[in-house]
Chain A
Amino acid sequence: MSIRFRENTDRFFSRLFSFTGLLTIALLAGIFFMLVYNSVSFFLNTEPIDFFTGFQWNPGNKGSYGILPLIASTVLVTFGAMLIAVPLGIFTAAYMSEFADRKLQKFLKPVIEMLAAIPSVAVGFLGIVVIGPGIAKLFGIQNGLNALNGSILLAIMSLPTIITVAEDAIHAVPASYKEASLGLGADKWETLFRVTLPAALPGLIAAVMLGLGRAIGETMTVLMATGNSLAFPDGYLDSIRTITATIAIEMGEVPYQTTHYYALFAIATVLFVITLVVNLLGEEIAKHYRKFGA
């Protein structure tokens, strides 16, 4: 094979590879552009004020497209999920990092990965057959398809993310911090709660943000297990409809290029922006914790 040929091949592939790199930017830009383009089409026909402050999501010919009930539902269920998942996740991560011996760690890591591997439909199914009826029996209500069910299920889904990132963060705290604390007379619990965890705080916050991002974007689980009622939610035992569930339910039934169609893209844009902000925040904070460790 001549040098010429090999050099040309080299150059060709080099260009090919760079091209694919640019395509990923094109992909992100494409998604963003599609969302914005269709949202703008929506706002040409409707008052933005009504969209962002309206209390009723009632599509149809003279329908109202108020996003507030959807946002309230999403906030309610993800807040509940974080309430459950954050303490559980951080304490488990602390245990895995600081107290479990090597053998136990080798066992626990796959356990967490298995939990992460369970698909969202399966978790939603669980909500319908086990947790929903359980909630119904516990609270003496008739139907367990509500925000509480959704929160528990979303917690199950975000836990692996929170645990993995938090464990990395706690593990990355230099041994010198712990040794110094123990040397000053603190026991391992005081060290953990007063030295290690605070030192790992940026990483812990990153873990929470990533878990939150996961919970906000989840579709099937909430679709199957939260009742999907359009009324503004009253509390955790109320049926709710999140942004993701609304898109999933209504997208199939809209003729393309109608106001309703554009409205769904508008709420998808809101969802996109929210998850983007949450993930970016998490990343920024994580950058701060990289001063520890490699």
Chain B
Amino acid sequence: MCACSQEIRTIKIKGSDTEVNLVTELAESFHKIDKSCYLSISGGGSGLGIASLLNGQADIATSSRELNSEETELFKKRGIELDTFVFAEDAIAFVVSPSLSLDSLTTETLARILDGTLTDWASLTGEKQPINIYGRQSNSGTYDFVKDKLKIQFSRKAKEMNGNAQILEAIKADPSGIGYVGAGYVLNDRNGQSRDIKVLSVSQDKNSPAFSPLDSNAVFQHQYYFRRHLFQFIRKSSAEVAAPFIDFEKSTTGTGIIRKSGYYPVKIF
């Protein structure tokens, strides 16, 4: 039941662009049953969410990555305590144009493409085409996640797009491009535009099987390499105000929305 009192409680949620639409839908449904809480939601990247928590400008930060060591330091230095809530599983999809004659990659080849060592598709597809990388900016958790998983620095020539959507748009228009987006975005493209995009399968080396992020079992059984938890970090001082919303996310309605958005709700034990 509604745990918000008569006065309007404000909850500020900021962070990951991967999660912002999902959180918006959750907030929309939540507001239908509980009108006494005022939620304001912003995207801008996981870095922005966490910084906002540090700066006292947010109650909940949605993040597609863990806190790094500097951030943990800063939280400790400023005396801010956090609760962590894993509310979904996500997989990163590496997307190319359907016209590219390539269906899967090893993580090693992927690393060489994204750090700029490999600059042409010729050695992989036989067709001489320059590789155009469409990625995110440094404030994106997706950017950090891919960078850390592959242990590389991105090529300086990589284009830094403002969001997942721009990356998909760019790939649709560029037959020699490669980009990375949350799998949820590809699954969720409501006009069935996954036909304009090809999702590559990834294998950890030449001899292992390749898995696709669109395969939910592969994600849950941790077989797909690029899968990650989606986090919400909540300031302990705001925990009481935020509790009704968090409870809603855990409810059947909430997890239903998460699933519909193309993410895998974390199974509650």
> With contacts A136-B173, A142-B174, A143-B173 known, is A253 near B158, CB below 8 A?
no
CA distance A61 to B73 in the complex (A): 12
- Contact at A252–B51, with CB atoms within 8 Å? yes
Residue of A nearest to B133 (CB): A229
CB within 8 Å of B: which of A46-85? 56, 59-61
Whole-angstrom distance between the Cβ of B19 and the nearest chain A Cβ: 15
Q: Per-residue 0/1 for A250-285: is the Cβ within 8 Å of any B Cβ (1 yes, 0 no)? A: 101111101000000000000000000000000000
Whether B55 lies near A255 (C-beta < 8 A) is: yes
Complexed CA–CA distance, A254 and B161 (Å):
19
Asked whether A256 lies within 8 Å of B55 as measured between CB atoms, the reply is: yes
B139 touches A252 (CB 8 A): yes
- A142-B51 CB under 8 A given contacts A61-B70, A230-B160, A250-B139: no
Residues of the B chain whose Cβ atoms lie less than 8 Å from the Cβ of A59:
138
CA distance A183 to B138 in the complex (A): 66
Contact among A61, A143, A254 with B51 in the assembled complex (CB-CB below 8 Å): A254
Q: Judge whether A255 and B74 touch: CB under 8 Å.
A: yes
On whether A229 and B45 interact (CB within 8 A), knowing A252-B51, A253-B51, A253-B139, the answer reads no
CA distance in complex: A168, B128 (Å): 56
The tally of CB-CB contacts under 8 A between chains A and B is 68
**Interface size classification for chain A:** 20 to 34
Residues from chain A with a CB closer than 8 A to the CB of B132 are 142-143
Residue of A nearest to B53 (CB): A255
Interface presence of B44 (CB below 8 A): yes
Contacts of A255 in B (CB 8 A): 50-51, 54-55, 71, 74
Q: Are B48 and A229 in contact (CB under 8 A)?
A: no
Provided the pairs A255-B51, A256-B55 are in contact, do residues A142 and B176 lie with their beta carbons within 8 angstroms?
A: yes
A residues less than 8 Å from B267 (CB atoms): none
A227 and B160 contact, CB distance less than 8 A: yes
Question: Does B137 touch A at the CB level, under 8 Å?
Answer: yes
Question: How far apart are the CA atoms of A232 and B175 in the complex, in Å?
Answer: 25
- Tell me the bound Cα distance from A145 to B54 in angstroms: 33
Let me know if B174 and A230 touch, CB within 8 A. Answer: no
* Chain A hits for B175, CB < 8 A: 142
Evaluate contact between A253 and B45: CB separation under 8 angstroms.
yes
B177 interfacial by beta-carbon distance below 8 Å: yes
CB of A230 within 8 A of CB of B177, answer: no
Asked if B151 CB lies within 8 Å of chain A CBs, one says no
Contact of A252 among B48, B156, B158, B170 (CB under 8 A): B48
Contacts of A23 in B (CB 8 A): none
Chain A residue contacts of B195, Cβ below 8 A: none
Report the bound CA distance from A136 to B137 in whole Å: 22
CA distance A223 to B174 in the complex (A): 21
Docked CA distance A145–B158 (Å): 13
**Chain B residues in 8 Å Cβ range of A223:** 162
Mark B75-118 against chain A: 1 for CB-CB distance below 8 A, else 0.
00000000000000000000000000000000000000000000
Which residues of chain A come closer than 8 Å to B137, judged between CB atoms? 228, 249
CA distance A143 to B48 in the complex (A): 27
A239 within 8 A of B: yes
Once bound together, how far apart are the Cα atoms of A32 and B177, in whole Å? Answer: 44
Query: A218 vs B170: C-alpha distance in the bound complex, in angstroms?
Result: 25
B174 touches A229 (CB 8 A): no
Q: Are A229 and B158 in contact (CB under 8 A)?
A: yes
Tell me whether B47 is interfacial, beta carbon within 8 Å: yes
What A residues does B162 contact at CB under 8 A? 223-224, 228
Instruction: List residues of chain B with CB within 8 A of the CB of A227.
Output: 159-161
- Interface assignment of A126: CB less than 8 Å from any CB of chain B: no
Asked if B48 and A142 make an inter-chain contact with CB atoms under 8 angstroms apart, the answer reads: no
Q: Mark B112-143, 1 if CB is under 8 A from A, else 0.
A: 00000000000000000000100001110000
- Asked if B159 and A229 sit within 8 Å, CB to CB, the answer is yes
Residue of A whose beta carbon sits closest to that of B56: A256
Beyond A228-B137, A253-B45, A253-B47, is A142–B173 a contact (Cβ under 8 Å)?
yes
Cβ distance A112 to chain B, nearest Cβ, rounded Å: 31
Residues of B within 8 A of A232 (CB): 156
> What is the minimal beta-carbon distance from A90 to any residue of chain B, in angstroms?
35
Q: Which residues in chain B, 160-205, are within 8 Å of chain A measured between CB atoms?
A: 160-162, 170, 173-177
Q: Is A231 an interface residue (CB 8 A)?
A: yes
Q: Contact residues of A with B, CB < 8 Å?
A: 56, 59-61, 136, 142-143, 145, 223-224, 227-232, 239, 241, 249-250, 252-256, 258
**Extra contacts besides A223-B162, A224-B162, A228-B162 (15): CB < 8 Å:** A59-B138, A60-B138, A136-B173, A142-B170, A227-B160, A229-B157, A229-B158, A230-B160, A231-B156, A241-B160, A252-B44, A253-B48, A254-B51, A256-B54, A256-B55
